[in-house]
Structure 1
Amino acid sequence: MQEIRININGRELVAVPGQNILQVALENGIDIPHLCFDERIKPYGGCGLCIVEVEGNPKLVRACSTPVKDGMIIKTETPRTETARKMALELIVSDHRGDCRPPCVLACPAHTDCQGYVGLIANGQYKEALALIKDKLPLPASIGRACPHPCEEECRRNLVDEPVSIAALKRFVGDIDLKTGGFIHDKKPSTGKKIAIVGSGPAGLTCGYFLAREGHDVTIYEAMPMPGGMLRYGIPEYRLPKDVLDMEIELIKKMGVEIITNSRLGSNISLDNLRRENDAVFLAIGAWKSSSMRCKGEDAKGVLGGIDFLREVTLNHSVRLGKKVLVVGGGNTAMDAARTAVRLGAEEVNVLYRRTRNEMPAEDIEIKEAEEEGVIFNFLVAPLEVISDENGLKGLVCQKMRLGEPDASGRRKPEPIPSERQFFEADTVIAAIGQQVKADYIHGLQLSKSGAIKVNETTFETNVPGVFAGGDAATGPKIAIEAVAQGKNAAEVIDSFLRGEIKPHVEPFVVRQDDLTEEDYSDREKVPRVVIRNIEPGQRKDNFREISSAYTEEEAKREASRCLECGCMDYFECKLYKYINKYGIQQDRLKGEKHKRYDEEDHPFIERNPDKCVLCGLCVRACDEIMGVSALGLVDRGFETIVKPEFAFPLKESSCISCGLCVDVCPTGACIEKTAVSKPLPVELESTHTVCSFCGVGCNTIVESKGDLVFRTIPDKKVEEGLLCVRGKFGLNHVNDVNRIQKPLVRINGELCESSWDDAIMYTVKKLQSVASKYRKGSTAIIASPRLSNEESFMLRKLGEQIETSHLGSFTLDSAPVISNVLGYEASTNSYDELYRTDVILEIGRVAEEHTVMGIKLKRAVEEGRRLVSISHEKTRSRQWASQAVSPANDLQFFKEVIKALFDMGYVDDQHAAENADGLEELKKSVEHIEVSADAANVAKLYGESKKAMIVVDENTVTPEAIQLLADMCVITGKIGKPRTGIIILKSKNNSQGAWDMGIQKSGCEILSLIKQGQIKAAVIVGEDPVAVNAEVQDDLHNLDFIAVFDMFRTKTSQNAHVVFPLVSSAETDGTFTRSDRKIQRVLPALKPLTGVSNFELISKLLGRLGVRYGSLDEVWEQISREIPEYKGFSAYKQEMYWPNTIDNNLGEPVLYSKQFATPDKKAKLFIHKDGRALAFRQKPKYDTVELYFDQFLKQESLEKVLR
C-alpha cells in the first residue's frame, strides 16, 4: 500500500490514501478539537473547530474533510487556529443552554461535587460518596457540621420547596467514615520533596492532605496546643465535637502528615529556617485577632473579643462572665459566643446588632436556636461607649439606628438616629464583629492594607521565593470551606512548583442557567425536607453535648433523593466543556437570543435536550447511515434548526430501535442515556471491557460502574463496529434490582426461608445423592441457561458426572441437535469477518431484528460491494439493503425449491458431492417433483454461480429443519470448508455455542418428556424460568422429588423449588463465552458479587461436597482444554481465539471442514425432509430469566416493537 508522509506539529507521520488530517492526528495522539467527526461517517465539517494551517495554503482548512497528501506540513495550534476556534466556540456557546456544573457545586468554594455525592447517597453508595468528597475535602464530618453551606443557598430546590440538606448529608457519610476506620486515598510514590505548613486550621490541614497524596513529605507547625485552628478554637463543642475533629485529623496524619504543636512562627520557629530546611513553605496562620468595636472604653476589663472568648473556653481556661452578657455582632461567631455564654451560666444574654434580623449574616437556624435557648436579640443599635468604674464593667451605651439605602453588600445601610441612645447593663461585653489577620511579626512579607498576607491570587505566591500563603491569612476571615478551598488550590500550585513548572489555579469556565424561575419547576412534586433532629432547648442549654443528630440511613437516602439533578449528566464526557475550558470561552461574550426548547420525554432509555444540541448532525447521520433507521432528522433552517424524531413524534413512538447509538456519538449532553441506577448523577465511572450477555453475536462492551452498581454499557469502539442493540446497551437494570436474591432459600414447612450457604449446599447435596441412590442413573436433570459462562457450564457437567446423570440441557434448546446432524459440529462454519469479502450473502430469518449488530454487519458488507438476499416470511429491516428480498410461505417448500433449482441449473457436482456426503440421491429424489418458483430460481442462480457465498441464519426465527436444508445447500454446492464460504448460525444466547460445547445438549422438550415418563425425579434449574413461559411445566415439576433453582430472582419456577440459590449477573462474572462463530471471548467482572459468592464459587462449593475441588478458574479452564477436544491446547485467558485449535493456526481455526466433515466417517449426512408440510420460520420462546426480565420491562414501557 502506498505510504503518504506528512508532518504535523513537527512530527513526521505516515498515512495511507483515503485518510484525512484529523484521522491521522488522532491515530498519533495529536488532539485537534472536533465535535462533528466520527470515523464511521463521512465527514462534512459542520462544527468548524478542527481547522488547521497547511503550509502553502493561505486559508485555514477543516482537518476532518481534508484528505492527506504526500509532503503536507500541518500546524494545529497557531494564533490563527486559536482565534478561529474561539469564535466558533463562542457562537456555539451563545445558544447553548444548560448547567455544566450544578449551582451547588459552583457555590461551594471548594467545588465539592455536591450533586455527585448526594446522588451516590441516594443510591446507597456511601463509601463512594465519601471518596468523592475526599477528592476535594479531607474533613467531611467536621465541615458537614460547621459549614454555613452556601451550596444550599443556591440549591434549585429552593424554587420548589426547600433546599436539599447537603451539609447534613456530608456529615452523614463523614460519620460513617469515622465509624468504619476511615477512608484514605492512595498516595503517589514519594517525591523526596519537603514542605512546611504553618497553621493547622482548615487551610493548612487541607493543603497538607493534598500534598501528602502527591507523594511529598509534609510537616505542619501549629502554635496552639492542639491542631485544628478555628475548627477547634472558634466553633463550640456543641456544634463540632472535638473528638470528631480529632479523628479526622488522625486520618490526615495517617496519610504521612506530621503535625508539631506549640510551635509559633516568630517565637520558636522562623521563616528563614523553614525555607532552608524545606522545598516550599505554606503559611496558613488564620485570622486570630478580634476586630475592634471602635468605641470609647472598649479596653475596659470585662470586654472580650468574640474569637478570644471562644478560644479561652475551648482551652478550658477560667472565664468569668457574671450574670449579664452582651454580645455585639450578627454573624455566626456572635451566635456561637451568645450560646456559649448561656451554657456557661449567664442569666441574661443579649445580642446587639446594628441592622434588623433580616440583614443578619448568621444562619437563620443559628438565630432560631439561640432564641430557643433564651438569647435576647436587640436590633438597630450600635456600640458607642463601654461604661465601667473601679468596680468593674457597668454596661454599654448604644446609638439607636435606622436603615437607609443599600450599601455595597446589598444590605440596607444603618444610619444613626440623632440624639437617641440606649443603655444596656452588662457584666461582660463580647465583641463578635469580625476578625483580622496579624502577620506583621513575619519579617520580609508584604501585607495588604487590611494586614493580610499579600499573595498572587492564582499562584498563592508571596513576595518571598518559595513561600506561599492561603486561607484566612491571605483572604481575611472567611468561612471554613473557603479556607479548605484555598488549601486545596494552593496544594495543586505548590505541587506544580515542586515538579518544576508552576501552574496557576484557574477557576473552570462553565455554561450555567441564571434565568430559571419557579415556573420552570412547577411540574415538580413538593417533597418535605427531612428535618434534622435537635435536643430540646431545655436539655441542651446547660451543657456542651452535640445538639443535633445525624440522619439515619433511610432519612439520608430520602433526603438525597430530593435532588433535582441540575448539573449536566454528560459533564465527564462532554467535548464542548473540554474545549471551552481549553480556550477560555466566556458564556456571555456574544449576546443574543437563546433557545429554551427542552421538553421532557418518556423514553425509558434516552433523554434528549435540544437546548444542549450543537447541531453536529452526528445523531441524525449515525441513525441513518450506520443503523439504517432514520428515526431522527434536522427540522427547520437557520437559527431555528432542531433535531427531532420523524414526523415530530415522541422518540418512543418513532421508528427508533433504542440502540443508543445517538447517545454514543453525541459530543455534548444533548442526547444521553438514562442510567441503570435509581438516582441518576454525573460521576466518573470505572470501565470494564467485557462481552454482552444477551444474544450470540458476542458484541464487545464496556460496562461502566461505581462501587457495587452498574451505571451503563457503552460499545467498545476499538473492537469491530463499536455498536450495540437495545439489550446490549440498556439491558443492565436487572443487575441493580433491589429484588435480587442475596441469600439461599430452603423450603421449611412449605415456605422458602433464608438459610446459610453451608446449610443450603449440604441440604442440596444430600437430596441429590438421595435421588441418585433411590432411583437409577440419570434420575436427575440439570437444566442451565446458555447465559452461563463456559466454566460454569463445564462445572455443571462435572456436577452431572458426580450424581451420575447425562441429562444436561436447556429449555433454550428447543431442538437438539440441528446442524451437527448434517455436518458433524453443532456450530457455524466461518467467522463474521469473512462476510465483508464474500460475494453473496443469504440472510435467513429476522437477523437485523433479533441480532441488530449482525444486521449492521450485513449492511456494511453490502456497502462494501457484497450482494445480499433477504429471505423471511415477515418484513425485515434488512430488506432495504438487500439486492433481492423474498417472502416465501412459512414452510420448507421454498428451500426445497432452491435445492431443486441448484440441481437443475447444474450448480451441483454430483461426483464431488457424493464423495463428501451421504444421501445425495435421496435428497435429489425428495425434490424431483417440486415446481421451482421464480424467486427460488433467482436465489439458486445467485448462490450457485457465486464463487464465494455465506448463509447467515437467525436461530430464533428459523426452524431446525430449515437450517438443516440450508446446510444441505452448502454441502451439495461445495460452498463450505473454504474462507468466505459457509454458514453462520446466530445463536439465541451469548454462550449458546459454549454451553453446547461444554455438554449442555438436551432440549427442554426432551427433558420434559423424561419427567412425564417418570425417568427424571429431580431437577437442578439454573437461570431459566420455564414456568413463566409455559404454566403447564409446573404440573410436570410437581412430579419431582426434589427441585433446586439457581437464579437472580424469585421466579415462577422457583416457587416450586425445595431450595433456591442466588446467582450473580454476567457483570459479576469472570470467565469466557463462545460466540456464534466459535470465537472464545474473555468476560471480566465489573462488580464484586452482590451475594458475596460468585457462580463459580457456588458451584465449586457444591462440587467440593461431592469430592471435586477447583481452586481457581484457571484450573477449570485447564480441565476444559484437556477434556473438550475442540478446546484442546487453548489459553483463552491470554488471547481470544476460535476453536478448534490447529497446527496451522495457533489462534484457532475460523473455517471448519476445510479437509473433512466432523462425522464418524468424515462425510456429511444430508438432511432429507419427508414428512409433509413443516414450518420454515417460527418465533423461538425465551426461557432465560434475564432475557424475560428485560422483555417484560420493554413491554411495560410500551416498547414491544423493539422485540419484533
Structure 2
Amino acid sequence: MSKISININGRELVVSAGQTILQAAAEHGIEIPHLCHDERIQPYGACGLCVVEVEGSPKLVRSCATSVQNGQVIRTDTSRTVVARKTALQLLASDHRGDCRPPCMLACPAQTDCQGYVGLIANGQYEEALKLIKDKMPIPASIGKICPHPCETACRRELVEEPISIAQLKSFVAEVDLNGNQYQPPMKPATGKKVAVVGAGPAGLTAAYFLARDGHKVVIYEAMPHPGGMLRYGIPQYRLDKALLDAEVALMTKMGIEIIYNTKIGDDVSLDYLHDNYDAVFLGIGSWQSQGLRCKGEDMEGVLGGIDFLREVTMNSNITLGGKVLVVGGGNTAMDVARTSKRLGAEEVTIIYRRTIDEMPAEKIEIHEAQEEGVKFQLLVAPVEVLGENGHAKALKCEIMRLGEPDASGRRKPEPTGETVVYEADRIIAAIGQKTVIGNIKDIATDKSGNIIVNGGAFTTNRDKVFAGGDAVTGPKIAIDAIAQGKNAAQVIDSYLNGCLVPHADSQYFTQKDITAADLADRAKAPRVSLTVEDAEVRNKSFMQVAKTFTEEEALRESKRCLECGCRDYFECQLIKYIQDYDVSTEKDSQVECHKTTEFDNHPFIERNPDKCVLCGLCVRVCDEVVGATAIGLVGRGFDSVIMPEFKLPLSETACISCGQCVDVCPTGACMEKQVSYKQIPANMDSMASVCGYCGVGCNVNIEYKGDVVFRVTPDRVNDDGWLCQRGKFGLGHANDKARLTAPVIKRNGQFVKVDWNEANLEVVKRLQAVVAAYGKDSIGVVVSPRLTNEELFLAGKLADAVNTTIKTSYSVDGGSGLGSVLGYDASTNSFAELDNSDFVLTLGKVKENHPVLDFKIRLSGVCSVAWPQSLANTADMKVFLKALLNLGVDENKVAEKTEGFAELKASLADVKVSEEIQALAQKYAKAAKPLIVIDEDTVSAEAVKLMAYAAVITGKIGAAYRGIILVRTKNNTQGAVDMGFVMPVSAVAQGIESGKIKALVVIGEDPAAYPQESALLQKLSFLVVYDMFMTKTATAADMVVPLVSSAEVNGTYTRSDRRIQAVRAAIQPKTGKATLQILIETLKSLGIKYDTIADVRAAIASEVSNYAGMDAADFGTTVYWPNNKNVLYTDGFATEGQKAILAAVGDVPVFVEKKKYDSVEMNFVNGRQSL
C-alpha cells in the first residue's frame, strides 16, 4: 500500500493510504477517544467521540470514518473537539444506569475495594484479598477491629436482611497474612528523595507507607513512646490488641521506614530543621486535646478529658476513679471510657447524654456491649455545672432536655426544659470531642478551631514543602478518614517530588440511588455471621480483646453473602474512562426518567444489561457480519432504542452460539461474560498470553487471572485475529473446579487413599516394572490425550520406551487421519494464513459447528467457499467426485509419474456415473487456480480424507502455496500427538487386552471407560494407572490416580492443525503442587531416564523428532512451522519412500462419521460440570 504524509498535532507522520485518521493516529500512539469502533468491523461512527479538526474543513469530522489524505493537517484535541466529546458523553451518561463501583467502596473514605476483597475471600484467595486491601491502607487488621465501617452502613445487603461484616472480613484476612507469609508490597526503585512525616498515627503511618512504596526515604517523628496515635492511645486494649498494631507497624519498618519516638516537633526538633533537611514534610499530628464540658466548674480536680483518660490508661499511669464515674458523651469514645472504667473497678459508671439512645453516634454494638457490662445510661440530660467541695468535683448538675426538630446532623435537636437534676460522682470524664493544638510548631496557619489550613486536594500548607492531613486538618474523625487523608496526601507529595504537583480529586462514577428492597426481592436470605464475644462477666475482669476473629468457615460463609453490586467491567469500561478523562458529571436530572431494566436474561455464559448499553451497535454487527448468527438486533427508535435478542426471546433460545464476540467488543458493562470463578468480582486482572486448549485451530488467548484463580479468557488481538468460540471463551472454568484432583490416590481395600508424591511415583514405577518383569515386551500400553503439550507427549513416549512397549496410542487420535498413508505426513499441507489468498475453499464435515473461528476466517477472507453437501454422505459419492475430476481432464502421465497406484484407482472408477450436482462441484474445484480443501477430522472418516488427498494429487492442486489440504484436527495438539508417535489404532490395543497380551495401561487425560465397551475392556487389566484432573469413570476404575493440571498451569508448546508450533504459558501455579511435565520427569528419573528441565526435553525432541528442531523459538513469538519453518509441504515431492503419493482402488465407506469424545476436559465442559 502506498505511503502518504499527514500532520497530527504538529507531528509529521508517514502513513498508509486508505487508512482512516483513527487508524493512522493509533498506529503512531496518538489516542482518539471512541466507543463504537473495532478494527475487525467496518466503520459506523455512532458514538461521535472520535471527532477531530481537519484543516480546511469547517465541520468536525469523525476520524473512524474519514480517510487520510496526503498533506492533511489534523488536530485531535482542541476546544471544539473537547466540547463536542463532552456533549456526546453527557448524552450517553443521561441514560446510563448502573454502579461503576459498589456502594460499600464509595462510602469508605479510603476507597478500599470492599467488593473486590470480600469476593476474593469468598474464592478462598486470601493473599490476593490482602494485596487489594493494602493497595489502599497499611494496617487492615487494626482498622478492621475498630472501624465504625461506613461501608457496612451503605451495604445493599441490608435491603435483604443485614449488611455484610466487611470490617471483620478485612481483619480476618489481614490476620491470616500476619500469621503466614506477611505480604510486603512491591517497592519502586529508590528516588533519592527524603520525606519527614510528623506523627505515627493513622494518617502519618499511611502517608509513610505509600511514600516508601513509591521509593522515597521516609522518617517518622513521633511524640509518644510507641506508634499508632489514637489507635494506641485512644482505643482500649480490649477493642484493639496493641500487639496486632505493633505487628502491622513492624511490617512497615521492614519497608525501610524509620520511626523516631519521643520526639515532639516544635519542642525537640523544629519544623525549620525538617524543612531544611528533607525534600518534603507531612504533618499528621492528630487532634489530641479533649474538648471541655463548656460549663461552670469544668476545671475542678476530678474532671478529666476522655482521650486524656484513655491515654493515661494505655500508658499504665496511676489512675484513681472512686466508686462513681460519670461519662459525658454519646460516641464511641464515651463507650470506651465507660467500659474501661468498669474494668478498672468503678462500681457505678453512668453515661450522660443529651439526646436519646437512638441518636447516639456510637456504634450500636458498642452501646449494647456497654449495657451488658453494667454501664448505666442517663438520657436527655445536658451538663450545666460541675459541683464540688474544696476544688474537687463531687457531682454534675444537668438540665433535662427534650427533642425538637432535626439539626444539621440530621438528628433531633435537644432543647432545654428548665428542669435540672444532680448526679453524684467521684470522677467526671468528658468524652465530647477533641481539638487540634499545634503547640510550638511555628509558622503554620490554622483556622479558628486550631486545625491546620491546607489548600484542598493539594494538602499544601502556607509553608513550601510542608503538607498536612488527618485529624489535624479535618478535625477529629474516624481512623479510616485519617488513613484516606494520608493516602491521598502521599500521592500528591509523590507527584510534587517528581516535579509536578497534582492535587487529589475524587473520580466520577455512575451510581444507582434508587435501589429498593423490591429490586432485591429475588435474593435468597442468608443470615449475617455474628461475631463471637466473651460474656460480659468475663469482659469486665480483663482488658483482653473481647471479640473473636472470624474462623475460616465463618469468613467464607459471610463473604459469600455479597450481592456483587459494582460493575465487573469497571476496569475495562471505556465509557467511564472517558467520563473521568473529560470530567463529565454523572449526576442525573431528576426531571428526566432513566430507563430501568427489570428482567434479565439467564444465559449460561453471557450477562446482558441494557441499562448500561450506549447503543454503539458493535455487538449487533459482530454477531451478524462476523459470526453470522444474527442473534441480536436493535429494537425501537430514538430514546427508546434497545438491543435485544431476536424476536425478544431469551438469548439462550436464539441462534446464539455462545462465542462471546459480543462481550469482547462491548465498550461498557452492557454485555459481560459470566466469570468462571465462584464469586464474580471487578478486578484489575493479571494477564498471560497463551493458546486455547480445545481444538486444533489453536486460537491465541489471554488468560486473565488473579492469584491462583482464572476469571476469564479473552481473545489475543495482538498475536491473532481476535476471535474465539464457546469453548475457547468459556471453557477454562475447569481450572477452578472444586472437583479437581489435587493429590495422588492409591486404591487400597477398594478405597482410594491419598498419598504423597514420592509414594505415588514409587508405586507407579514399582507396579509397571512388575508387569514388564512378569509379561515382557508390549505388555503395557500408554494412552494419551492430545491436549497434552508436545513436551509432555514426548515424555509419555519415553515412559513407553522405559517400560519396553511400543503400544502408544490415543483414543482421540485412533491411528490418525489417513493423510499420512497417501502423502507421507499425517498433517495439513498448507497454513491457515493461505486461506486469505486462495480462490476457492471446499469444506468437508462440520467445520462451522466444530471450529467456528476457522469458519469466521474463511468467510471474512471473501473467498468463494462451498461445503460438501450432507446429502453426499457416502464414499460412493466421493468416487463420483474423483471420476468427475478425471472426466474434466488431468495430465495422466504427470499423475502416473508422481504417484503409485494411479492405474488401480482409475480402474476402480471405470463404471462410476457422474451426477449433475457432483459435476458442478468438481468443476468449481478443477477450475480454481488456488483451491484449498478444509476437512473437519471430527466428522469425516479417515477413508474420506484419503480420497480428498487423491483428488488434490490427481489434479495437481497440492505442493504449492494456496493449493492443498487443511485438516482441522480434533484437539489442540492432535498434530503433536501424531508427530510424537501416538498413532497405533485403538483396535490393536483392544485386541491386545482381549488376548491377554496387554496387562496394564497408563491412561493420561482420556476417559475411555465413559463408554460401556471400553469400560468392560479395562476391567481385564491387572494394573491401570490414570493421570487426570477429575475422578472420571476411568479414574474410578483405576488402581491409582495421579492429578494433572489445566492448560492454564502448563508451559510448553502445542502444534496446531496447520503444523504451526505455538507457545503455551502458565498463568497460574499448578494447584496440584506439580506440573504434569515435572511429574513425568520424576517418574522417568526413577526408571533411569534423566531430564531436568523443559529445555532438556526440547533438546531431546529436536534430536529425535527432527521436524521439531527450533521449536523453542515459539517461546519468543517467532512463527515456527515444521518442517524447517515451511508453510507448504511437498513442494519438492511427497514424504514417502519414493517421493510419490500412494493411491489405491476406492471402496465404499461413509464420508461422514460422528467420533466419540475421549478427552476428559472436553467431556467435562460438554457435560456442564458446575462445581465452582
TM-score by length of 2: 0.99
Deviations 1:878-920 (A, max 9, x none): xxxxxxxxx32x21122111110111111x1101100100111
1:33-112 superposed matches below 5 A: 33-112=33-112
The match for 2:510 is 511
Amino acid at match of 1:1120: I
Amino acid at match of 1:895: M
In the alignment, does 2:1008 pair up with 1:1026? yes
Amino acid at match of 1:528: P
Q: Which moved more, 1:536-545 or 1:816-825?
A: 816-825
In the alignment, does 2:864 pair up with 1:867? yes
Indicate how the Cα distance of structure 1 residues 940 and 181 shifts in structure 2: closer, same or farther if over 3 A, else same: closer
CA distance in 2, matches of 1:792, 1:872: 39
Other structure's SS at 1:1032 match = helix
Contact residue 811 and residue 1005 of structure 1 kept, 8 A: no
Could you tell me the percent identity over the aligned residues?
Answer: 54
In the alignment, does 2:104 pair up with 1:123? no
CA distance in 1, matches of 2:54, 2:313: 72
Contact residue 902 and residue 1144 of structure 2 kept, 8 A: no
Deviations 1:326-368 (A, max 9, x none): 0000000000000000000000000000011111000000000
Other structure's SS at 1:1021 match = strand
**CA shift for structure 1 position 816:** 3.5
Contact residue 821 and residue 1165 of structure 1 kept, 8 A: yes
The match for 2:885 is 902
CA distance in 1, matches of 2:478, 2:636: 51
In the alignment, does 2:1164 pair up with 1:1189? yes
The match for 1:374 is 374
CA distance in 2, matches of 1:459, 1:260: 27
Contact residue 1079 and residue 1136 of structure 1 kept, 8 A: no
Other structure's SS at 1:497 match = helix
The match for 1:194 is 194
Over aligned residue pairs, what C-alpha RMSD do you find? 1.2
The match for 2:722 is 722
1:612-627 superposed matches below 5 A: 612-627=612-627
In the alignment, does 2:314 pair up with 1:314? yes
The match for 2:764 is 764
1:643-654 superposed matches below 5 A: 643-654=643-654
Deviations 1:526-550 (A, max 9, x none): 1100011000001111210000111
Other structure's SS at 2:1136 match = coil
Amino acid at match of 1:121: I
The match for 1:876 is none
Indicate how the Cα distance of structure 1 residues 280 and 589 shifts in structure 2: closer, same or farther if over 3 A, else same: same
In the alignment, does 2:937 pair up with 1:955? yes
The match for 1:547 is 546
The match for 1:780 is 780
**CA shift for structure 1 position 35:** 0.5
CA distance in 2, matches of 1:1136, 1:1190: 32
CA distance in 2, matches of 1:232, 1:806: 73
1:1044-1123 superposed matches below 5 A: 1044-1123=1025-1104
Contact residue 618 and residue 662 of structure 2 kept, 8 A: yes
Contact residue 203 and residue 284 of structure 1 kept, 8 A: yes
1:800-839 superposed matches below 5 A: 800-816=800-816, 818-839=818-839
Deviations 1:275-327 (A, max 9, x none): 00000000000000101111000100010000000000000001110000000
**CA shift for structure 1 position 585:** 1.0
Other structure's SS at 1:1053 match = helix
The match for 2:755 is 755
CA distance in 2, matches of 1:808, 1:232: 69
CA distance in 1, matches of 2:634, 2:1041: 53
The match for 1:884 is none
Indicate how the Cα distance of structure 1 residues 462 and 758 shifts in structure 2: closer, same or farther if over 3 A, else same: same
Match of 2:1134 among 1157, 1161, 1173: 1157
Contact residue 102 and residue 568 of structure 1 kept, 8 A: yes
Task: Give the paired residue count.
Answer: 1170
Deviations 1:1140-1198 (A, max 9, x none): 343xxxxx00100001111111110014223xx3110011111000000000018999x
CA distance in 2, matches of 1:1141, 1:985: 17
Amino acid at match of 1:452: N
CA distance in 2, matches of 1:182, 1:1075: 43
The match for 1:435 is 434
Indicate how the Cα distance of structure 1 residues 499 and 179 shifts in structure 2: closer, same or farther if over 3 A, else same: same
CA distance in 1, matches of 2:14, 2:331: 67
Contact residue 872 and residue 1177 of structure 1 kept, 8 A: no
Q: Which moved more, 1:120-129 or 1:78-87?
A: 78-87
The match for 1:577 is 576
1:664-703 superposed matches below 5 A: 664-703=664-703
CA distance in 2, matches of 1:518, 1:447: 46
Q: Which moved more, 1:1088-1097 or 1:439-448?
A: 439-448
**CA shift for structure 1 position 474:** 0.4
Deviations 1:985-1043 (A, max 9, x none): 00000000011101111132321122112221110000000111x11212211211111
Contact residue 691 and residue 701 of structure 1 kept, 8 A: yes
Other structure's SS at 1:205 match = helix
Contact residue 812 and residue 1003 of structure 1 kept, 8 A: no
CA distance in 2, matches of 1:148, 1:1129: 62
Unaligned runs of at least 5 residues, structure 1: 874-886, 1143-1147, 1198-1204
CA distance in 1, matches of 2:291, 2:46: 60
Contact residue 1043 and residue 1059 of structure 1 kept, 8 A: yes
Amino acid at match of 2:1145: I
CA distance in 2, matches of 1:598, 1:727: 30
**CA shift for structure 1 position 1129:** 4.4
**CA shift for structure 1 position 440:** 5.0
**CA shift for structure 1 position 182:** 1.6
Contact residue 304 and residue 430 of structure 1 kept, 8 A: yes
Indicate how the Cα distance of structure 1 residues 1194 and 853 shifts in structure 2: closer, same or farther if over 3 A, else same: farther
Q: Which moved more, 1:18-27 or 1:811-820?
A: 811-820
Amino acid at match of 2:806: S
The match for 2:1150 is 1175
CA distance in 2, matches of 1:494, 1:1027: 65
Deviations 1:523-578 (A, max 9, x none): 11111000110000011112100001111111101100100000001011000110
CA distance in 1, matches of 2:294, 2:1111: 87
CA distance in 2, matches of 1:709, 1:624: 33
The match for 1:1003 is 985
**CA shift for structure 1 position 772:** 0.9
Q: Which moved more, 1:581-590 or 1:1115-1124?
A: 581-590
Amino acid at match of 1:869: V
Q: Which moved more, 1:123-132 or 1:52-61?
A: 52-61
Deviations 1:621-675 (A, max 9, x none): 0100111110010001111100000011100111000000000000000000000
In the alignment, does 2:527 pair up with 1:532? no
**CA shift for structure 1 position 16:** 1.3
Other structure's SS at 2:1012 match = coil
Contact residue 1080 and residue 1136 of structure 1 kept, 8 A: no
Other structure's SS at 1:557 match = helix
CA distance in 2, matches of 1:1135, 1:699: 14
**CA shift for structure 1 position 1135:** 4.3
Other structure's SS at 1:368 match = helix
TM-score by length of 1: 0.96
Indicate how the Cα distance of structure 1 residues 37 and 1087 shifts in structure 2: closer, same or farther if over 3 A, else same: same
Deviations 1:255-276 (A, max 9, x none): 1110000000111110000000
**CA shift for structure 1 position 393:** 2.2
CA distance in 2, matches of 1:1179, 1:1038: 26
Contact residue 1130 and residue 1141 of structure 1 kept, 8 A: no
The match for 1:877 is none
